[in-house]
Amino acid sequence: MELAQLRYFFVAAQHEHITRAAKELHIAQPALTQAIQRLERELGVPLFEKKGRGICLTEYGILLQKRAEEVFSILDHLEQEFHEISQGRESNVRVNVLAASTLVVEMMIAYKKKHPEVNFQLIQNAEDPECDLCVTTGVTESQVEKTVDGVVLSEKICLAVPAHSEFAKKKSLHLEEITHENFISLSHEKPLRTICDRICMSAGFLPKIIFETENPSVFRDMIGAGLGIGFWPVHSWGTLASQDVVMVPLDHPFCKRDIMVKRLHPAGRTSAAANDFYQYIIEHFQKRNEWQEE
């Protein structure tokens, strides 16, 4: 059964008159009659019977009309459904967050307040090639692969210390001054932990880790309780928001990392929303870099 045959039958069933149906379909009356006869032979049942000068549906024709109406209703709505799917894709943004998750989420929340129609999908998989944007990190800018599809935020890493400690009174610290201190740290799987360990190794020691946590709030509270000290990324984790902890700059060696947001281009998957959010991140990073340089 061809769709054109079904359409011819459906229009004839609506009019119950071959001449009027042929006129609406813009085909010759014999052509319409032949198309219906072929459909009847294919189905093996009569669909119409003569009634005066017109035609009427048989019981088989009534059933086929009902099913045809369902088919054409679906087809008529397909264009709108395709449009809705297309619009939905244009509003989706897939972000692979491999670093600075707190900072990235803050930017997403701020962006979504301005663009509530945008839908974010967060993933954390270094091997996933299907994302629109990927947030990663490096130790210094010189170690970052330069591409036209990447933007970098240079982030200072300070030392979070208990407010009552002797370190809290200093304007800056050298790493050599803290070689024997207890450290609160992230787990080995986190890129920031690797960066901080390398920074300590450059000063000739490995940090004495007494506790590992994934939660910046727990990290801060343990330091505030005097249990140790720890490295604090100023942009990714924000302000300390505690009277019990002080953030002290490290000036020897100068401690920093680069947060990189790379725009990827999977075939057919880069949405308008993803491109716009990327531009939003660029502006956000530029402002933070300018603020940090002041």
* Per-residue confidence (pLDDT) for residue 56, from 0 to 100: 92
* Per-residue confidence (pLDDT) for residue 148, from 0 to 100: 37
Do 160 and 247 contact (CB within 8 A), yes or no?
yes
List, for residues 10-61, the tens digit of each pLDDT value. 999 999 998 999 999 899 999 999 999 999 999 999 999 988 888 999 999 8
**Can you list the domains of the chain with their CATH numbers?**
3-88 (1.10.10.10), 94-293 (3.40.190.290)
Question: Above 70 in pLDDT, residue 281?
Answer: yes
Q: pLDDT category, 286, cuts 50, 70, 90?
A: confident
Question: Above 90 in pLDDT, residue 72?
Answer: no
What distance lies between CA 285 and its chain's CA centroid?
19
The percentage of the chain sitting over the pLDDT mark of 70, rounded to a whole number, equals 83
List, for residues 173-206, the tens digit of each pLDDT value. 888 888 999 999 987 777 788 888 888 888 889 8
Measured distance CA(81)–CA(87) in Å, rounded: 10
* Per-residue confidence (pLDDT) for residue 71, from 0 to 100: 86
Do 229 and 167 contact (CB within 8 A), yes or no?
yes
Of 102 and 224, more confident: 224
Largest interatomic CA distance in the chain: 108
Highest mean pLDDT among 86-90, 164-168, 253-257 belongs to 164-168
Of 99 and 38, more confident: 38
Query: Under 8 Å CB-to-CB from 114, ≥6 apart: which residues?
Result: none
User: What is the helix (H) or strand (E) element at residue 134, kind and residue range?
Assistant: strand 133-138
Q: What is the pTM assigned to this prediction?
A: 0.56
* Per-residue confidence (pLDDT) for residue 45, from 0 to 100: 93
* Per-residue confidence (pLDDT) for residue 228, from 0 to 100: 93
Point out the least confidently predicted range of 8-12, 120-124, 133-137, 267-271: 267-271
| Residue 184 CB neighbours (<10 A) | 23
Question: Above 80 in pLDDT, residue 165?
Answer: yes
Average pLDDT for 97-114? 87
Measured distance CA(209)–CA(186) in Å, rounded: 9
Of 103 and 269, more confident: 103
Question: Above 50 in pLDDT, residue 147?
Answer: no
- The structure tokens listed for 127 are 């091997």
Per-position b or e across 86-122, b if 16+ CB within 10 A of its CB: eeeeebebbbbbbbbbebbeebbeebeeeeeebebee
Of 162 and 240, more confident: 162
